[in-house]
Amino acid sequence: MTNIYQPKEAIISEIKRLTANTKHFTLRFSNSRDRENFNFDFGQFIMLSVLGFGEIPLGVSSSPDCKENFEIGVRKSGTVTSGLFKLKLGDKVGLRGPFGKGIKPNDLKYKSIALIAGGVGLVPLRSLIQYVSWHRKDFGRVSLIYGAKSRFELLYKDEHKNWQKTIDTFFTVDEDIGDWTGQVGLVTKICNPENLKYEDSIAIVCGPPVMYKSVAEKLKGLGFQDKDIYLLLERQMKCGVGKCQHCVCDGKYVCQDGPVFTYEEAKEIKGMV
Ligand SMILES: Cc1cc2nc3c(=O)[nH]c(=O)nc-3n(C[C@H](O)[C@H](O)[C@H](O)COP(=O)(O)OP(=O)(O)OC[C@H]3O[C@@H](n4cnc5c(N)ncnc54)[C@H](O)[C@@H]3O)c2cc1C
Ligand code: FES
């Protein structure tokens, strides 16, 4: 029987700095069977453990198609992420999961998709961007609306040109510093009909908690229905599997009932958005 608390060993095979406080890690399970069995849906999360520091939930930033290696993007924010940032190539981490309810790639087939990301919320959406670029004919129009604090905080800058070959991208920053010639303001400012209005489309939103309600309401104004707006939500998590109660919000377990909720579901859960 599988022990859901037993981490599997993975090795860090690449580290790239994305911004001053964010790093991209490529990981590879040590065991080939673990590599073959690692299947996940968009928005599901893993529990990553760093020896001597602890365990944290993280999204996956690479496409579910990537079997040999997979990628994560991490912002340094406290104990475990600082421990992770000290690791070097070849060091080992522990992994459990994937956990939670995500969005199945097949459920998105032939749809148009609006991706709306704020800050480090772009990390799990990059998985979908990568997937779309490899299966382009399976999708309608795909747009990315992405906001960061400043141009120095924009993630995956070296990939943006490549993304623009397959999807429409619209970026905005809060602070107009360091030679920025683009849009300034919150992401809601660029959620407009030119960038987002199209038939049979769904929206997927990931970002800081403060962003969800205003973005969802803006999308509704553009004609999106509550059931077609997916929110990737975060809560403090410990077990990741519905046992410890750390993630519970108004009776819902974010680790099991989520972390992906439609706006239709989330707005009925007190304190969720
Ligand atoms: C489903 C899910 C997916 C996530 N995906 C990513 C990801 O792809 N990349 C990434 O960088 N981060 C992600 N996070 C957030 C990440 O788990 C936290 O940054 C991490 O747990 C902080 O751990 P720490 O020990 O370094 O910081 P701590 O020392 O525990 O805390 C540092 C500060 O961060 C706050 N904090 C801790 N956990 C969270 C949380 N879950 N949400 C909001 N604030 C928190 C604490 O209250 C404290 O103020 C995700 C969280 C969840 C629940
Ligand atoms: S994280 Fe333990 S119950 Fe959800």
What's the per-residue H, E or C state across 117-129?
Answer: EEHHHHHHHHHHH
Q: Rounded distance, CA 66 to CA 82, Å?
A: 27
Ligand nearest to the CA of 258: 1
* pTM for this model (two decimals): 0.96
H-type alpha helices, the chain:
32-37, 79-86, 122-134, 160-163, 187-190, 193-196, 211-221, 263-266
Considering the domain architecture, whether residues 165 and 58 belong to the same structural domain is answered as no
Closest residue by Cα to residue 230 from 45, 62, 102, 60: 102
Residue 271 in any domain: the answer is no
Least confident of 71-75, 199-203, 207-211, 251-255: 199-203
Average confidence (pLDDT) over 252-269: 97
Query: Ligand 2 pocket, 246 CB below 6 A?
Result: yes
What atom of ligand 2 comes closest to residue 247's alpha carbon? Answer: 4
56 lines ligand 2 (CB under 6 A): no
* Structural domain includes residue 79: yes
Q: Are residues 227 and 118 in the same domain?
A: yes
Q: Which atom of ligand 1 is nearest to 233's Cα?
A: 1
Structure-model confidence comparison of residues 191 and 29, the more confident one: 29
Identify whether residues 113 and 228 lie together within a single domain: yes
Number of domains in the chain: 2
Task: Give the structural domain span for 220.
Answer: 105-232
Please tell me the predicted confidence (pLDDT) of residue 179: 86
Atom of ligand 1 lying closest to residue 84 CA: 26
Task: Say yes or no: 71 and 121 in one domain.
Answer: no
Mean pLDDT across 249-270: 97
What percentage of the chain has pLDDT greater than the value 90? Answer: 90
- pLDDT over 80 at 197, yes or no: no
Q: Which atom of ligand 2 is nearest to the CA of 256?
A: 4
Note whether 48 and 148 are same-domain residues. no
Question: Does position 262 have pLDDT exceeding 80, yes or no?
Answer: yes
Q: Band of the pLDDT at 242, cuts 50, 70, 90?
A: very high
Cβ atoms of 84 and 33 within 8 Å: the answer is no
Atom from ligand 1 closest to the CA of residue 72: 8
* pLDDT for 125: 98
**Average pLDDT value over all residues in the chain:** 95
pLDDT digits (tens, 9 = 90+) for 52-92: 999 999 999 999 999 899 999 999 999 999 999 999 999 99
pLDDT exceeding 70 applies to what percent of the chain? 100
Q: Are residues 110 and 222 in the same domain?
A: yes
In a mutational test of the pocket of ligand 2, which residue from 56, 247, 261 has the highest number of ligand atoms less than 8 Å from its CB?
A: 247
Residues 112 and 86 in one domain: no
Residues 201 and 228 in one domain: yes
95 and 109 inside one domain: no
**Are 92 and 119 found together in one domain?**
no
Ligand 1 centroid – CA 57 distance (Å): 7
Q: Examine the pLDDT at 1 and tell me if it is beyond 80.
A: no
Going from the Cα of 244 to the center of ligand 2, the distance in angstroms, rounded, reads 5
86 plus 109 within the same structural domain: no
CATH classification of the domain holding 207: 3.40.50.80
| Residue 59 CB–ligand 1 contact under 6 Å | yes
3-class secondary-structure state, position 170: strand
The predicted pLDDT at position 178 comes to 80
User: Do 160 and 222 lie in a common domain?
Assistant: yes
Identify the band that residue 200 occupies on the pLDDT scale cut at 50, 70 and 90. Answer: confident
Distance CA 145, CA 207 (A): 11
Q: Would you say the CB of residue 122 lies under 6 angstroms from ligand 1?
A: no
- Residue 23 — very low, low, confident or very high, per pLDDT cuts 50/70/90? very high
Assess contact for 48 and 55: CB atoms under 8 A: yes
Taking alpha carbons only, the member of 57, 5, 25, 23 closest to residue 233 is 57
